[in-house]
Structure 1
Amino acid sequence: MTSTAEQTTITHDEYLAGEIESPVKHEYLAGQVFAMAGASEAHVTIAGNLFALLRSHVRGSPCRVYMSDMKVRVEASDAFFYPDVFVTCSKADAAQTYYKQAPTLIVEVLSSSTAAFDRGKKFAHYRRLESLREYVVIDPEQMSIDVFRRNESGQWVLLPFAEGDRLELASIDFSTPIDAAYEDVNLTELPASNP
């Protein structure tokens, strides 16, 4: 989500009608509409890799995988977001054409302009989805994936994965080497820390 909000407050019905016609994607939060910026090659490649891996995994099941052109509605926040990748196994979602409401898994690939929002306020909104079991944030500059998993007590537990690990997504019983998510991505060198 970018930081430039349009000045007019609109209803979510107006937002949905406008989004069907708009050449630019927007996210919606309580009457405010935010234009979305483009993504880097690494961002798009990682999202595409995960989509392909997850799509192959859920094939033949009632679950479906969506990429960044499908919205997730967070009714409790009066919000619509475009996650990079998400999985829903809901029959009700299968009947919805322009958005889904019951994702089991949401993945966001970070960018410098959205990282704080994705880890903070956006995650706070996503946590209001009763169906959500895992929220995944991926660093496109180094092999680092954080999985936030809701435990049986309803608390969110952080599980970090790094180079050499297997990425484990319990919500859909999925496992893959972390390298598979970063296939064909040229990772940037991290600056050396000062002594």
Structure 2
Amino acid sequence: MSPEAYLLGEGNSSVKHEYRDGQIYAMAGASNAHVLIAVNFATALRTHLRGKGCLTFASDTKVHIEAINAYYYPDVIITCDERDRAFNNFVRYPCLIVEVLSDTTEAFDRGDKFADYRQLESLQEYVLVSQKRMSVDVFRRNQADQWVLTPYTNSAEIQLASVASQSAIATLYEDVALMGNSD
């Protein structure tokens, strides 16, 4: 399938699909814990970034990775790049991407999807959030273009350098019943 056909079909579809080099993949629904974590994260970031020229998107906006012909739906996207204001249903220049992990997506989110996201030159941080326990992994691109992991747990203050933000991990898990099985 061409990217143009995908975008046209996606605009009329009741089911979200991700697109990877001609192939489309239907996305499963998310648990309540997944949605609450994503909303809490997006709310904290949106509040912090208000008036700073950055845009916060949650779940229904795609990231277009032009270099590999892919479109993904991250749980939260932050872009501070003016060029992204020209697009109606995707962004190309995110500085921060957040994915909430589930049993069915964790391997892909940590593996191939992360490899794909690393093709985005604008991306500075990639955040993976567990819904099984209070655990947030922040992968940050350093000056040598290497990705460095900083894990946060329990009562930690999460530092996000890409948007000069810090937030208590408990804020991200507010009202969330942590799950042993996260599908």
TM-score normalized by structure 2?
A: 0.97
Note if 1:160 corresponds to 2:146: no
Where structure 2 has 5 or more consecutive residues not aligned to the other structure, the ranges are none
| Distance of 2:53 and 2:122 partners within structure 1 | 15
| Distance apart, 1:189 and its partner CA | 5.8
Q: Which 4+ stretches in 1 moved above 2 angstroms?
A: none
- With a CA cutoff of 8 Å and minimum separation of 6, indicate the structure with the bigger relative contact order: 2
Q: Which residue of 2 aligns with 1:70?
A: 61
Note if 1:172 corresponds to 2:166: no
RMSD, aligned CA: 0.9
Q: Which amino acid aligns with 1:40?
A: S
Q: Percent identity?
A: 51
Q: Which residue of 2 aligns with 1:100?
A: 91
Where structure 1 has 5 or more consecutive residues not aligned to the other structure, the ranges are 1-9, 191-195
Q: 2:51 is paired with a residue of what secondary structure?
A: coil
| Distance apart, 1:188 and its partner CA | 3.3
117, 121, 124: which one aligns with 1:130: 121
| Distance of 1:189 and 1:75 partners within structure 2 | 36
TM-score normalized by structure 1?
A: 0.91
Q: 2:95 is paired with a residue of what secondary structure?
A: strand
Kindly tell me the number of residue pairs found equivalent between the two proteins. 181
Deviations 1:4-54 (A, max 9, x none): xxxxxx000100011100111000000000000000111000000011100
Note if 1:53 corresponds to 2:44: yes
Q: 2:179 is paired with a residue of what secondary structure?
A: coil
Instruction: Specify the structure having the higher radius of gyration (Cα).
Output: 1
